[in-house]
Amino acid sequence: MDIKVAIIIVSDKASKGGRTDLSGQVIEDIVRSQGMAVINKDIVPDDKDCISTRIMDAVDRMQADVVFTTGGTGFSDRDVTPEATKSVMDREAPGLAEIMRSESYKVTSRAMLSRGISGIRGQSLVINLPGSPKAVRESLEIIMPILPHGVEVLRGESSECAQID
């Protein structure tokens, strides 16, 4: 199954060249190791309109199956990635964010401070990941096994979610 992925790195410092992106590279490496194609990778500032525009572009124009954002999910005033995501999604897909937080909490109690969300725009998944490379890796290890099935369902290629024993 060909799955097209767009990556949006949300960081004021990295968007100005003041910090090297590490988290976006972790996403790209893991995605490619799973046989998925990275069709776009952008670095944007912590700006709600900029983030939401990039998400819409990745889904509506580039037709990404999955859009991963990294960064901007914490408690600071500049952390607006969840709000930007919510403003452009058609439906919520809370299970992905819930399981990432729940499993990450087993590693660090700081996981409960993540406000990342996940949702659906059209036939695409939009998933907010934390900003740290370690947390990105841990989160993707949790959700990657189920993503192909989620994409199949969104594409209308699979409608049966119940396991048949």
Structure tokens at 49: 């309109």
Domains of the chain, by residue range, sit at 4-155
Distance CA 132, CA 22 (A): 8
Q: Which residues contact 152 (CB under 8 A, 6 or more apart)?
A: 1, 158
The pTM for the full model equals 0.94
- Give me the pLDDT at residue 133, please: 96
Residues of the chain with pLDDT under 70: 159-165
Yes or no: is domain 4-155 CATH 2.60.40.420?
no
Structure tokens at 114: 């993540």
- Give me the pLDDT at residue 18, please: 85
Return the number of other C-beta atoms located less than 10 Å from residue 141's C-beta.
Answer: 12
Distance CA 50, CA 93 (A): 22
